[in-house]
Structure 1
Amino acid sequence: MSEQTVQVPARPERKFLPENFKVESWEGLKPYFDDLLNRDISDKSELRKWLQDRSELESVISEDAGWRYIRMTRFTDNEEYNKSYIDFVQNIQPHIAPYSDSLNKKVVDSPFVAELEAQPGFDIMLREIRKDIEIFREENIPLFTEIQTLTQKYGQISGAMTVDVDGKELTLQQAGVMLQETDRDLRERIYFKIAGRRIEDKDKLDDLFNQLIGLRTQVARNSGFDNFRDYMFRAMGRFDYSPEDCFNFHDSVKDEIVPMLSALAQKRKEKLGLDELKPWDKAVDPENLPPLKPFKDSKELTEKTIRAFSNLDPFLGECLRIMREMGHLDLESRKGKAPGGYNYPLSEIGVPFIFMNATSTLRDLVTLLHEGGHAVHSFLTRDLELTDFKHTPSEVAELASMSMELISMDQWHLFFENENDLKRAKQEHLEQIIETLPWVATIDKFQHWIYENPGHDVAERTTAWNAIFADFTDTVTSWEGQEKFRDNLWQKQLHLYEVPFYYIEYGMAQLGAVAVWKNFRENPEKGLAGYLNALKLGYTKSIPDVYAAADIRFDFSRNYIRELMSFVREELDKL
């Protein structure tokens, strides 16, 4: 197949900053902030131009910070990259915060703001700005610096975790692939190696987490909130739902989905012919077939994903082709690389960066499809007028990614030529949805408990974790003898350390994604068009309005969960 010529996008021409400007220090940035702060605004068009200039400045800073973060996570053992990231966090960002607050006040105090607010997108942006003014406190700036410096340590600790398997040093992600092997004794041995390695850093990670809880609680109290949970609901702009809605979601998942989870676990136990289902039996194929290998290396993974995207719509494939051409993909797991995966939007160029830790599993394929959905979202919003319009809330961002996992399933034959393997892959992914929602509820409920009870000690936290975990896990798996590993399972969830309260969105978006997929199954052309139309809006509409543009509901009620999970169950039965 001949490779098409790729048109690499150019960075938009700068109107406010010099073309050759680079973010090197606060001193270099300050004149541009002063210009915005002191500029006279005499009519609506000047206010709009002022907002465009501010947007340009923020996009340049955001992209510079993005590259510092990307390099730091790609090479956690590189001292220079670590220093560069810390320099931004400690010496640039703290100076920006008070200026941002003053600029926000300048906008809302402008006599021309009402005229602007009547235009699409500006109402949403101004709602966010008013919220930022409400929660800003100067005394929180050094606390945020300290928090960001500490969260970097989580990546360093996790990125350094390796195990020795038969004389070979493997990252935990690489070793984790062996939990899919059909040799049960090997799986057990690998499980103990991985879990044992995590235990080595348990106290270090507990201490780190305790420090973060203390700092975050102080931030919340400084801003006049009873706890960090209430502060974060405001800070994250959760205008469309409350903690009470989250509790209802937890209850619905417990009642509607956990029984499905237990049924899957029972079926697995019976098919594997086991007296006892143990944690190391959860990733192997229930028919005891060898693990699926959808690709041999990151090159093949990239090529086939581009073809899958292109078959859905040529524009989608072009997005990934551009990223590959620009070197904006780092997919393979290696020592010294931070855990996890992300799509980092780069605000000025508008072409994001995908980072992940692929080995050769179905999960890795799904991760690239997921991050590819985020990437497509970045491309679809790159021409929106202001950076604020491009920064969507997580409930919308995760809809983009999780929907792509499902609507791309029609193209999975590219990865699995064997019909039985293809069926297995689809079945595994749909079962993963049934497993995802209870885990989302577990992590979210745990966060509510942590920050409602900030004075807890490690023993109390462990007790709370186990009680919450028991609510959302299947009733079949036996943890007898592995309790100490279960006690600190939560430590592998980087969101708890790095992006607190960013997790319930996966649950909401998972439901939305199933609804998008249901539409796509009924009418592929219309379903895909609805999905893309919703993403193009960026954050110029409320979350329910964006979901409505995709022809779905922003709804996580018990009845809706039951309806969508019945559809998933039906699709599973067809396989």
Structure 2
Amino acid sequence: MTRINIPKKPERKFVDEDLIIDSWKKIEKFYENLMHREISTLQELKKWMNDRSELESVLEEDMAWGYIKMNIDTTNKNLAEKFNFWINSISPKVSPYNQKLNLKLLENPLINELDPDKYKIYIRGVKKSIEIYREDNIPLFTEMKKKEQEYGAICAKMIISHKGKNLTMQQASALLKENDRKVREKIYLKISNRRKKDEKALDKLFDDLINLRKRIANNAGFNNYRDYMFAAMGRFDYTATDCYQFHDSIQHYIVPTINNFEQERKVRLKINNYKPWDTEVDIAGKKPLKPFNGSNELIDKTIQCFNKVRPFFGECIEIMNEMKHLDLESKEGKAPGGFMYPLYEIGVPFIYMNAVGSQRDLVTMVHEGGHAIHSFLSRDLEIADFKSTPSEVAELASMSMELISMKHWNVFYKNKEELKRAKLEQLKRSLETLPWVAAIDKFQHWIYTNDHNSQERREKWNEIHNEFGSNVIDWDGQEKLREILWQKQLHLYEVPFYYIEYGMAQLGAIAIWREFILHGDKAIEKYISALKLGYTKSISEIYETAGISFDFSSSYVQELSEFISAELNKIEN
């Protein structure tokens, strides 16, 4: 194996090299310097912007490590306290300075001499931040962040017992692929009953979060939190109405296709009542796919797979492994979910997962690996804000890699039939993702634009689930679980309104994969060029650089759905 170069943190030009962030006083002097520094030339303005970016990168990375470590071990009170120190003692004091620094930037006439092609997206974002900032919201943000942490802590304690062993929800869910239907039902009911134990706690937590978010929106002059978040997330390229139309397109073109998938499964399984615990098992009675054993093998095979796409991609994962920027296996006390956390100062991100050895874990790894590659490709951009991409772009990087990497999944599967099964499952999931995305997003729109209680929320979820869920699955006896299915979606609690982007990016990823099939390495070059832009161009321009359109019209949804169906037929036949 070629020796890799491990990146080092760049030499700091503004922040002290030996800074230990254990008090606000140690940080305040840097903000005061930026606030009171004279800026009389364009060169001085750029130096000021770079110094501010360096400070933000240092602080963000320090907070990131606190968040990562706390999630890895939610039982460690010291780790929680260290992260809460950030939430309580640092973040609230940074916000007023950010507002003042943003105003200082916009009020300086030299801003008009900055290259508009390079800085227009950044300046647009600064203007929007100033517009929605309210000092009254600072303590509410602090309270909200603390509340959001409670979700991970609650879910991390969810375990079931099976054959004398404690299993996390992720480990237990892997058993839903077992061929023995009685085992699947038993596991499903155990998972369901365990989730129901925290139903009221999660309802109460969500009510608290909704109330806090409403207050934040009202303070900022918005009628509802949905409209506030569209502004806060910088959604300049589409509206709430566009989202509703996207929901309708998915319901019209994708849901019937998914129902056909489920009906075929029901027929092939030869069962009269197709239950929720029948949706994951192999229809031919084959054992669950096992692409790797343990995190080390997952890492090694991912590196091999990515190397075949482009050696640089494999090197990214290799660097992260060498630097111990990977924590992949599910274990007790570890918060649920998976993420890639960018670390802007060192420029080498961190991947966090809850792997149990399943095909879904393979997909999660290449998904987060796509995010990581994006982070590496944009690491040399001049300021931190250039590297902070909107989720419509971030998820394009990750979801495209899910499909592109399929060409080399023979690294994970030596058996051709298993490889075929894995590809079929992935392509079907690329469409199956869309109705769930639409359901969660439509649910959020309703939640934050309508006053309601927990019972009305359940009724609305059932209504939406009827629109986007399978009409083949028999929920008799499981109605109570069905009405709280939304509680398992982390985004609702921790990152509200970060979800429709998965649907938009899924369409983009399918389009990139189509380009990859047609044009091979040329499509990879365009993919790389798009990711290198970071957030220096609009979403539409970044998609265009990747060789595709930022489009979620009904005709485009239909076109890409038909393309996936055609590719499925090729693999099956």
TM range (shorter): over 0.9
Q: Could you tell me which of 224, 227, 236 is aligned with 2:224?
A: 227
Distance in 1, Cα, partners of 2:2 & 2:533: 29
Q: Could you tell me which of 156, 166, 169 is aligned with 2:166?
A: 169
Q: Could you tell me which of 429, 451, 469 is aligned with 2:465?
A: 469
Aligned counterparts, 1:96-245, within 5 A: 96-116=94-114, 118-245=115-242
Deviation per CA, 1:411-461: give whole Å up to 9, x if none. Answer: 0001111111000000001111121000000000000000001x3101100
Alpha carbons 1:6, 1:325 under 8 Å: kept = no
Alpha carbons 1:163, 1:194 under 8 Å: kept = yes
Kindly indicate whether residue 319 of structure 2 is the aligned counterpart of residue 322 of structure 1.
Answer: yes
Distance in 2, Cα, partners of 1:481 & 1:44: 69
1:290 shift after superposition: 1.1
Kindly indicate whether residue 535 of structure 2 is the aligned counterpart of residue 539 of structure 1.
Answer: yes
Distance in 2, Cα, partners of 1:434 & 1:311: 26
Match of 1:85 in 2: 83
How many residues align structurally? Answer: 571
| Structure 1 range deviating more: 17-26 or 216-225 | 17-26
Partner amino acid, structure 2, of 1:539: Y
Match of 1:94 in 2: 92
Distance in 2, Cα, partners of 1:524 & 1:286: 33
Distance in 1, Cα, partners of 2:316 & 2:472: 43
Kindly indicate whether residue 487 of structure 2 is the aligned counterpart of residue 495 of structure 1.
Answer: no
Q: Give the unaligned 5+ runs of structure 2.
A: none
Deviation per CA, 1:537-563: give whole Å up to 9, x if none. Answer: 000000000000000000000001111
Instruction: Classify the secondary structure of the residue corresponding to 1:479.
Output: coil
1:565 shift after superposition: 1.0
1:245 shift after superposition: 0.3
Distance in 1, Cα, partners of 2:166 & 2:414: 32
Alpha carbons 1:121, 1:539 under 8 Å: kept = no
Kindly indicate whether residue 564 of structure 2 is the aligned counterpart of residue 568 of structure 1.
Answer: yes
Aligned counterparts, 1:255-266, within 5 A: 255-266=252-263
Match of 1:19 in 2: 17
- Please list every run of at least 4 consecutive aligned residues from structure 1 whose deviation after the TM superposition is greater than 4 angstroms: none
Instruction: Classify the secondary structure of the residue corresponding to 2:463.
Output: helix
Partner amino acid, structure 1, of 2:177: Q
Partner amino acid, structure 2, of 1:386: I
Instruction: Classify the secondary structure of the residue corresponding to 1:112.
Output: helix
Kindly indicate whether residue 41 of structure 2 is the aligned counterpart of residue 43 of structure 1.
Answer: yes
Partner amino acid, structure 2, of 1:247: Y
1:491 shift after superposition: 0.4
Instruction: Classify the secondary structure of the residue corresponding to 1:238.
Output: coil
Deviation per CA, 1:111-137: give whole Å up to 9, x if none. Answer: 101111x34331100000000000000
Distance in 1, Cα, partners of 2:42 & 2:462: 56
Distance in 2, Cα, partners of 1:402 & 1:22: 37
Report the aligned-residue RMSD.
0.6
Kindly indicate whether residue 340 of structure 2 is the aligned counterpart of residue 354 of structure 1.
Answer: no
1:21 shift after superposition: 1.5
Distance in 2, Cα, partners of 1:263 & 1:177: 24
Instruction: Classify the secondary structure of the residue corresponding to 1:257.
Output: helix
Distance in 1, Cα, partners of 2:540 & 2:282: 38
Distance in 2, Cα, partners of 1:514 & 1:229: 28
1:305 shift after superposition: 0.4
Match of 2:56 in 1: 58
Match of 1:6 in 2: 4
Partner amino acid, structure 1, of 2:304: R
Instruction: Classify the secondary structure of the residue corresponding to 1:106.
Output: helix
Instruction: Classify the secondary structure of the residue corresponding to 2:161.
Output: strand
Distance in 1, Cα, partners of 2:254 & 2:305: 31
Deviation per CA, 1:61-95: give whole Å up to 9, x if none. Answer: 00000000000000111111000000100111000
1:288 shift after superposition: 2.0
Q: Give the unaligned 5+ runs of structure 1.
A: none
Question: Normalising to structure 1: TM-score of the pair?
Answer: 0.99
Match of 1:344 in 2: 341
Match of 2:285 in 1: 288
1:287 shift after superposition: 1.7
Partner amino acid, structure 1, of 2:497: F
Distance in 2, Cα, partners of 1:114 & 1:239: 22
Q: Could you tell me which of 275, 296, 318 is aligned with 1:278?
A: 275
Distance in 1, Cα, partners of 2:18 & 2:376: 24
Partner amino acid, structure 2, of 1:557: S
Deviation per CA, 1:270-326: give whole Å up to 9, x if none. Answer: 000010110000011122211000001111110000001011111101100000000
Kindly indicate whether residue 552 of structure 2 is the aligned counterpart of residue 556 of structure 1.
Answer: yes
Distance in 2, Cα, partners of 1:571 & 1:20: 55
Distance in 2, Cα, partners of 1:25 & 1:559: 55
Instruction: Classify the secondary structure of the residue corresponding to 2:117.
Output: coil
Partner amino acid, structure 2, of 1:352: P
Deviation per CA, 1:154-196: give whole Å up to 9, x if none. Answer: 0000011100001110001001000000000000000000011
1:18 shift after superposition: 1.5
1:22 shift after superposition: 2.3
| Structure 1 range deviating more: 340-349 or 4-13 | 4-13
Distance in 2, Cα, partners of 1:503 & 1:126: 25
Match of 2:381 in 1: 384
Match of 1:432 in 2: 429
